[in-house]
Amino acid sequence: MLSMLDRMFSPRCIAVVGASRDERKVGSMLLGNLLSSGYEGDLVVINPGASEVMGVKSLPSLLDVEQDIDLVVVAVPSGSVKQVLLDAERKGVPAAVVISAGFREEGAEGRLMEEELMEVVRRSGMRAVGPNCFGIMDTSARMNATFTSLWPQEGNIALISQSGAVGSTVLDWMMKMGLGLSRFASLGNKMDVQEADLLLMLENDPKTRVVGAYIEGLEDGRRFIEAASSITRSKPVVVLKSGRSESGARAASSHTGSIAGSDQVYDAAFIKANVLRVDDLDSFFDAMSIFSRMPLIERDGIAVVSNAGGLGVMAADACSETGVSLASLSRSTMEALEEAIPGMASSLNPVDLRGDATADMFIKAMEILSEDPAVNGMVLLSAPVDTVDLEAVSKAAVDFSEKKIPMAVSFPGGEESDRALTIIREGGLPDFPTPERAVGAMAFMLRYREGLERVNENELPSSDADINEAREVIRLARESDRDSLSEEEGKRILKAYGVPVPVEGIADSCVEAVDVARALGYPLVMKVLSPDIHHKTDIGGVIVGLEDEDSVKEAFKLIMERARRSFPGAKIEGVSIQRMVKGEEVIVSLVRDETFGPVLSYGMGGIFVEILKEVSQRVLPLSREEVDDLIRSNKAYQLLSGARGRPPGDLGSLTDIMVKVARIGMDLEEIEELEINPVMVGPMIEGCWAVDALVTLRRKDQ
C-alpha cells in the first residue's frame, strides 16, 4: 500500500488554490508548471473570481469539487491559508503543500498563525509540506508542483531542501549536467513534513538511488538519525548543512525560523547515521553525481589514467589528502600495459599514457587496469592537447563504463573539453571540473562504503551496572534540593557502573587527613570536597604529589584557606585524599543536546583542551566499535598510541570507561551533564582511572 507521502507525490487529482488570472502570480506559475511538466492526473483550480484559469476549470471552494482530491497546493495570502486547510479537512484531502509565506519566519504573529495551521493538520491527520516553501516534484508522475520551471529529466536523485533557493540552484545544475531527478521537496518551515518523513518514504522509492538534502537545522534530531540510519543501509544520503560558523548559524536560524543546534553535534549525528556531510555546493554536486551515475565502490584502491603527467600528479596529491589509496598495480598488469602501449611514460599508478595517446590506448589501459584485483575504481584524466582526440577518448570511456567499475572523469579545460564532456554526460558517466574533485568524489564513495561497514557492526554492549545505587545517589541529591553532585557522589555513580576510580578516603580535619594518608600510602593527591565548588583547580583546591605527613598537613591547611577565601558561603565538607595515578590526561564527558539528545564527547585533557579545542563527539547509543572509532578520530589517539617513543596507553580500558559513561547517558535521564576531567590513561594493561567527576542534574523545571 502507498504511504500518505507516496500518494502526495503521485496524486490522481490536484487542486491548486490561488492560481490567479494574472499569469505572473506565483499560483499561476505553479499551475503553468503542472501543465507544462505533462501532469496527467486531474487538475482543478480554486479561485472564486474565475471559471477557468489557463484552460483549467475553476471552482469557488474545495467543497465544490465533486471528486476526491489527493493533493491541495495552496498559494493564497497567509491570512487565508487556514480557511483553505479547514476546507481541505472537511473535504477529506490527505495532503497539502503550502507555498504561502508569512508565518513563523516573520515573527511572533506569524508563528501563532502557523500553530493554527498545525492544529488543523494534526487534527485532520493530513500531511502537509511547508508553509513558506517552493513546492514538490515527481518526475515519473510528471508533476511539477513548484513555481520554478526548472524541470530535470527523470532519474535517480531525490532532493530535499529546506530552502527553495538552494533547491532551484541544484535543479538548474542537474539540468546542465544531464542528471536525473526522482523526487524533489522544498520543506520551508517544516510545520509537519520533516526530512525524516521524506527519508523514510524515499527508502522505499524504487526510483531513488541517492538523496541530497540541504539542511539549515533539524528539530527532532533523534528521529532524523533513526530515519537516516535506516535509509543509508541501502542508499547514500548526502547532506549540505549550512551554519557551520557562528554567524552562518545565526543567519540560518533567522532564515526559516529554525534554531540550529550546535554544529559540531550535527557532525556526530551524521556519522552515527552514515550520512555523508559535505562542506559546500561543489562537493554536494560531486557526491550526488557519482552516486547517481556509478555503482558503489567495493573497497579502497583506485587507478588514475591520463595523457598528462601533471594532471596525474594532482590526482595523486588529492588521493593522499582525502585518504584514497592509489592501487599498487601487479607486475603482470604493468607488463601488460607496457606491451599494449609501447612508449608510455609510466606504467606505475598514476598511469601516464603520454601526451600523444590515442583513444585506443586509453581503452586498452582501462581494460588492463580493470583486470587487476587491486583496482576498485578509476579516475580518467585528459588534457585538451592537439595530439589527442578527446571526443574519441570520451566514446571509449563510455563504452568501457559497461564494466561496472566506478569511474570519475575529468577533462579540465574550456570549450574543447566541454564538447567531449557532452559525450561523457550523455553516456551516463560522472565528470568533474578538476582532477582533485574527481578524486574527491571517489573519496565520498569510500566514506559511505566505510560507514556501511561501521554501521553493520553496531551491536550495543551489555551492562552489569548497579543502576539502583546510581539512582539512590541522585535521589539523595534531589532530596537535599541540589542540581549538582559532589565529586564523591559523582564517583559513586561511576563506581556503580564499574568505572575505575583511584582508592580514596575523606577527611574533615588535619589529624584525620594524616590517618587517611597513612592508610592509603604515598604518593597522594588532595582535593577540596564541596558540592558548591566545581572548578577546584582554578582556586588551588587540588594539590598533587604529596609524599609524606608534613606535606599532607600543609596541603590540608592550604586547601581549606583557599576554599574559604574564594567561596565564602560554600559548604565545605573536608578533603578527599586519593592515591595518585599517572598517565596521559583525557576528558570524557556526557551532555544532552537539545536536538540530538545524549552525546559523548572525548578529547585531550589538561591545557590541550583549551588550546587545541580538539574534541570529538558521538551521539548515543554507542557500540564498542563506535567508541573505538571515536577514540581514533581524535588527535589524542596519536599521543596515546605511543607517539615519539612514549609508552602506548591502555586504550582498551579507555574504551571500557567510555562505553560505561555512554551507558550512564542512556540509563540515567536525570543526568544533564557528566564530566570526567581527567581520565588518566595509564600505560598498556595498567588501566585507566576516572580521577574526577562533575555531575549536574537536569533542573526540576526542565
Q: Which residues are near ligand COA by CB under 6 A?
A: 17-18, 20-22, 25-27, 46-50, 75-77, 80, 84, 99-102, 132-134, 164, 186, 188
The amino acid present at 685, given as its one-letter code, is: I
Q: Which is nearer to ligand COA, 25 or 624 (CB)?
A: 25
Least separation, in Å, of the C-beta of 83 and ligand COA?
6
Beta-bridge partners for 679: 586, 690
Q: Which is nearer to ligand COA, 133 or 316 (CB)?
A: 133
Beta carbon of residue 15, minimum distance to ligand COA (angstroms, whole number): 10
Provide the H-helix boundaries in 14-96: 26-36, 78-91
Please identify, using beta-carbon distances, which residue of 58 and 307 lies nearer to ligand COA.
58
Backbone angles phi, psi at 226, to 5 degrees: -60, -50
Taking phi over 0 as left and psi of -120 to 50 as alpha, with beta for the rest, 349 belongs to beta
Nearer to ligand COA by Cβ, of 61 and 264: the residue is 61
CB-nearer residue toward ligand COA: 21 or 419? 21
Give the shortest CB-153-to-ligand COA separation in angstroms: 23
Give the nearest distance from C-beta 186 to ligand COA in angstroms: 6
DSSP code per residue over 647-666? PPB-HHHHHHHHHHHHHHHH
CB of 27 to ligand COA, least distance (A): 5
Minimum Å distance from CB 147 to ligand COA?
A: 8
Burial of 673 (0-12, 13-18, 19+ CB in 10 A): middle
Nearest distance in Å: CB 689, ligand COA: 55
Chain length of the chain: 702
Residue 211 vs residues 188, 238, 602: alpha-carbon distances, Å: 18, 6, 31
CB nearer to ligand COA: give 53 or 599.
53
Q: What share of the chain is helix, strand, coil (3-state, %, to 5)?
A: 45, 20, 35
User: In the complex with ligand COA, which residue's Cβ is closer, 232 or 256?
Assistant: 256
Q: Is 495 left (phi over 0), alpha (psi -120 to 50) or beta?
A: alpha
Q: Are 559 and 510 in contact (CB under 8 A)?
A: no
Output 64 or 335, the one with its CB closest to ligand COA.
64
Q: Which residue is nearest to ligand COA (CB)?
A: 164
Nearer to ligand COA, 22 or 66 (CB): 22
CA distance 139 to 207: 10
In whole angstroms, give the CA distance from residue 615 to residue 283.
25
Cβ proximity to ligand COA: between 253 and 458 the closer is 253
Select from 495, 554, 491, 544 the least CA-distant residue to 522.
544
Nearest to 231 by CA among 291, 279, 172: 291
Q: Least distance (Å) from ligand COA to the CB of residue 167?
A: 8
Give the whole-angstrom CA distance, residue 678 versus residue 654: 12
**Least distance from ligand COA to the Cβ atom of residue 81, Å:** 8
Q: Which long-range contacts (CB under 8 A, 24 or more apart) does 424-429 make?
A: 424/394, 424/397, 424/398, 425/177, 425/178, 426/178, 426/398, 427/394, 427/395, 427/397, 427/398, 427/401, 428/293, 428/398, 428/401, 429/293, 429/294, 429/397, 429/398, 429/401
Q: How far is the CB of 193 from ligand COA (least distance, A)?
A: 15
Question: 18 vs 598, which CB is nearer to ligand COA?
Answer: 18
> Shortest gap between Cβ of 78 and ligand COA (angstroms)?
6
Distance in angstroms (rounded) separating the CA atoms of residues 69 and 14: 6
The rounded distance, in Å, linking the Cα atoms of 499 and 477 is 21
